[in-house]
Amino acid sequence: MLPLFKEYPLLADRLPHVALGEFPTPVQELDRLGSETSIARLYVKRDDLSGKLYGGNKPRKLEFTLGDALRSGAKEVLTFGGAGSNHALATAIYARQAGLRSISMLAPQPNARYVRDNLLMSHKCGAELHSCGGETPSPGSIVLGFLATIYQLVRHRVKSGRFPYVIPMGGSSLLGITGFVNAAFELREQMAAGEMAAPECIYVACGTMGTTAGLVLGLRAAGLDSRVVSVRVTSEDTANRAAMLKLIKKVNSFLHSQDPSFPVFRFSATDLDLRHDYYGKQYALFTPEGMEAAALMRDCEDIELDGTYTGKAFAALLGDARAGRLEGRTVLFWNTRNSRSLTEAIAGLDYRDLPRHFHRYFEEEVQPLDRDPGR
């Protein structure tokens, strides 16, 4: 049983859930990196190993959202992301495992090797891939993306007799975020078992804010004092303190409505630590700091990070360590990247079998800083 459900059994009765991942994910002490950064105890939460098929932070959310899709009787799910979206790929993989078809609405993004891999793997999983939105974020691009989505929803309604179940970008619905409320209770169990010391702060990448929101709420509910340091990797319009605070309160109210014994907490902006300095110039555009951090993690601990999310988050941790702010402290880095290789699964696939819109990712150069090890 999920740790959250053990604490609040009524939630187990009322919330949809389907087992997809492999939990709890390990915690691992990073002795060499801790020594090099003067951090007393440095750990990593290995959510990169959260599933046999595909890891990262998405399986936690999909266990609830796909559970709800199945309970609703849906046959298809539709979701959103960039062309190389990890969330869209994870949805395609686990939707197929759950017996659901998947539809991905994908916006343009900077090219990288992982974009190619994710597109090919999504195609192999039978995902229906559609390009939506313009090359650069703008009101017109948003309208185009909205119209493309409406068209696909209506087309599938006419074709199958019902609308696809819609999963928001990043899987960050109220149900999806509940997966990370549970993750905080999972962490508490690992601490109680002596697997790690209580962290004073937890560093994590922040995209659609679901992972951060769930952890902040979950840690409070679990009675843990750890402070979440969330590192923004999407635009400030998407991830900001006001929106995050609103999201945390919504999830809190939702869980209380499902089980009145789940407390309603008071949160304010002072409870949030959202870092903006490591984003770079554009979503999915790699930064020198992020790639340096990824290289250091790989060289010291043989753990791979990526340039879009986890490299930037770990760069923030390194920046604080080098500034002396983490000396003598206990710190946890939450690795939200998938580390399951796609190489064998996509071997021999021809990108020309993809919709024409996506061919350019295979015909254009990748980012010069791209050292993503996923191949």
Predicted confidence (pLDDT) per residue in 189-215, tens digit: 999 999 999 999 999 999 999 999 999
* 146 found inside a domain: yes
Q: Are residues 176 and 29 in the same domain?
A: yes
* 370 found inside a domain: no
Distance CA 65, CA 16 (A): 8
Q: What does residue 314 show for φ and ψ, rounded to 5 degrees?
A: -70, -30
Q: Are residues 156 and 192 in the same domain?
A: no
* 372 found inside a domain: no
Beta-bridge partner residues of 39: 327
* 41 found inside a domain: yes
Q: Are residues 208 and 112 in the same domain?
A: no
Q: Are residues 51 and 100 in the same domain?
A: no
| pLDDT level of residue 122 (50, 70, 90 thresholds) | very high
Q: Are residues 229 and 97 in the same domain?
A: no
Domain interval for residue 189: 3-57+172-334
Half-sphere exposure of 228 (CA within 13 A, CB side): 30
Residue that the structure tokens 């869209």 belong to: 88
* 297 found inside a domain: yes
List the CATH number of the domain containing 192. Answer: 3.40.50.1100
Q: Are residues 179 and 288 in the same domain?
A: yes
* 369 found inside a domain: no
Q: Are residues 188 and 304 in the same domain?
A: yes
* 293 found inside a domain: yes
Burial status of residue 269 (CB atoms within 10 A of its CB: 0-12, 13-18, 19 or more)? exposed
Query: Each residue of 273-303: pLDDT tens digit?
Result: 999 999 999 999 999 999 999 999 999 999 9
Q: Are residues 32 and 108 in the same domain?
A: no
Q: Which residues of 111-221 form beta strands (DSSP E)?
A: 128-131, 165-166, 201-206
- How many folded domains does the chain comprise? 2
For the four alpha carbons of 182, 168, 93 and 352, in that order, the dihedral sign comes to negative
Distance CA 248, CA 243 (A): 9
What token pair was written down for 115?
Answer: 């974009």
In this structure, of 127-141, 207-221, 254-268, the range with the lowest mean pLDDT score is 127-141
Higher pLDDT pick, 158 / 94? 94
- Looking at residues 91-107, what average pLDDT do you find? 97
Q: Are residues 240 and 253 in the same domain?
A: yes
Provide the whole-model pTM: 0.95
What token pair was written down for 341?
Answer: 């290789």
Q: Are residues 183 and 302 in the same domain?
A: yes
Q: Are residues 243 and 309 in the same domain?
A: yes
Q: Of 28, 61, 36, which is closest to residue 332 (Cα–Cα)?
A: 28
What token pair was written down for 49?
Answer: 């190993």
* 373 found inside a domain: no
- Measure Cα distances from 75 to 95, 101, 129, 317, 348 in Å: 10, 6, 17, 42, 30
Q: Are residues 312 and 235 in the same domain?
A: yes
